[in-house]
Amino acid sequence: MPRTPAPNEPEDDLDDLPDTHTPQPVYYAEQALLGALLLEPHRLTDIAGIEPDSFSNYAHGALFAAIRALPAPDAVQHTKDTIWLNAVLTAAREHARGLTASYLHTLIQVCPWPKHASAYSRMIGVDHARRTLRAHAERLAQTATDVTLPHPVPATLAEADALAAAVDDTAARFPPHSGSLPRTPAPGPAATPDDAEEAADEERLLLATATAHPADIEQMRWLTADDFTHPLHAGLWQCLTALTRRSAPVDPVTVLWEAQQRGLLTPGIEPADLLDLLGEPAGSPQYWGERILQRALLVTAHRVGHRVAAFTHDPATTPYQLIVGSRRALAELSAVRTRWHHATSPAPTPLPARTRATAPPRAGPPRTTAPPAARISR
């Protein structure tokens, strides 16, 4: 988030780039809280749940850290001199050299009511949670589309876990209450990816290869029609899965007939073209299926990241709505993630059948006396 300078802060402390952003409401909440603490330092005991990095303004965070680090002054003496204020300023300037004594007095003047310090701190905590979730969501969306990653799925899922942990942390700090779901409109459809043609080629190869090896389809329940990028390909996959589950014959002609029954032969889709598509197998269905599912997982992660980020950009979204909306979005990714693990986990090795071995005869107790003499019959 761009750093917001404090008033009277020299431009050279901001790399000679003055900030032109309009201050947001949280900026004034931060000013009010700091003014309350400077005026009545004992209010610090009412503050919980925020840290110096919770402030959107770096100088404000440095000032809060200095206030926490220094012992509170005597209440009566504090009204008579500025010794404690000077000490706070000196400590804060070690990290934010643009702070001035006049700005501290400005903070005191703009604070409406020092007794409302805890309310101001909660506003700061809410905004910090919003910014934290936004940062994690944006990293998730960016990672999901980073073509330079050698292993994009593990990196993307790690970012999803980090976002989920941030949501859980927010939920722990803001207990749930009754309320509505986020009213934020969903982001528009994503732009056509650069690899759209590659995705279509992989889907065509899967359909042709699965038609040639229908026995493999039953082992690929982890792949669904929603994972395909092209509606016709999704429909043909449903034809293949339906035929195999009915134990019906599978070849290009039977798939073509099933496609006709499902209304896939719309104008512009010629039967001969479908037969050509289904008649050029290459590789294995498992390989192409994993490629399609990987792309679906990354696309879903990108969509989830944008969705959560949209929640955080809506200032009307409450912490509770952020939590519920984010968890619902992450649940969509979790469903695809589960199927990915099913697809890529090695098949369990069947245990050998247990045979019931014949137990050796048990040895009797040792004899301690001579056996009885054999009885001689007359």
- pLDDT score, position 267: 87
90 and 201 fall within a common domain: no
Q: For residue 21, tell me if it sits in a domain.
A: yes
156 and 275 fall within a common domain: yes
85 and 137 fall within a common domain: no
CA 299 to chain centre: 13
107 and 205 fall within a common domain: no
Q: Which CATH number goes with the domain that contains 314? A: 1.10.860.10
81 and 133 fall within a common domain: no
Q: For residue 373, tell me if it sits in a domain.
A: no
Does the model's pTM come out above 0.85?
Answer: no
Which phi and psi angles does 230 have, rounded to 5°? -110, 125
- pLDDT score, position 130: 95
Residue 371 has pLDDT above 80, yes or no: no
Q: Are 3 and 58 in contact (CB under 8 A)?
A: yes
- Distance of CA 290 to CAs 56, 197, 222, 260, 278, Å? 43, 17, 9, 27, 19
Q: Which CATH number goes with the domain that contains 74? A: 1.10.860
What's 351's DSSP letter?
P
Residue 299: partners with Cβ closer than 8 Å, 6 or more residues away: 144, 190, 193
45 and 136 fall within a common domain: no
Domain total in the chain: 2
Domain residues for the domain of 247 are 128-179+193-345
Letter for the amino acid at 361? P
40 and 64 fall within a common domain: yes
Distance from C-alpha of 128 to C-alpha of 322, rounded to nearest angstrom: 12
243 and 142 fall within a common domain: yes
146 and 286 fall within a common domain: yes
Q: Are 153 and 59 in contact (CB under 8 A)?
A: no
pLDDT digits (tens, 9 = 90+) for 90-102: 999 999 999 999 9
Pick the residue with more confidence: 15 or 333? 333
Q: For residue 43, tell me if it sits in a domain.
A: yes
- The arithmetic mean of pLDDT across residues 33-48, rounded, is 94
Q: For residue 377, tell me if it sits in a domain.
A: no
pLDDT digits (tens, 9 = 90+) for 208-254: 999 999 999 999 999 999 999 999 999 999 999 999 999 999 999 99
150 and 98 fall within a common domain: no
- Among 192, 164, 206, 163, CA closest to 294: 206
Q: For residue 360, tell me if it sits in a domain.
A: no
Which phi and psi angles does 100 have, rounded to 5°? -130, 160
Q: If you average pLDDT over every residue of the chain, what do you get?
A: 86
Distance from C-alpha of 215 to C-alpha of 217, rounded to nearest angstrom: 6
pLDDT digits (tens, 9 = 90+) for 109-141: 999 999 999 999 999 999 999 999 999 999 999
- Among 33, 52, 56, 53, CA closest to 43: 33
Letter for the amino acid at 206? L
104 and 215 fall within a common domain: no
- Report residue 259's pLDDT band, with 50, 70 and 90 as the boundaries: very high
- The arithmetic mean of pLDDT across residues 41-57, rounded, is 93
Distance from C-alpha of 40 to C-alpha of 76, rounded to nearest angstrom: 11
- Distance of CA 22 to CAs 5, 28, 208, 324, Å? 11, 11, 57, 30
End of a domain among 65, 83, 112? Answer: 112
Distance from C-alpha of 99 to C-alpha of 157, rounded to nearest angstrom: 42
Q: For residue 187, tell me if it sits in a domain.
A: no
pLDDT digits (tens, 9 = 90+) for 276-297: 999 989 989 999 999 999 999 9
Q: For residue 337, tell me if it sits in a domain.
A: yes
Q: For residue 68, tell me if it sits in a domain.
A: yes
170 and 292 fall within a common domain: yes
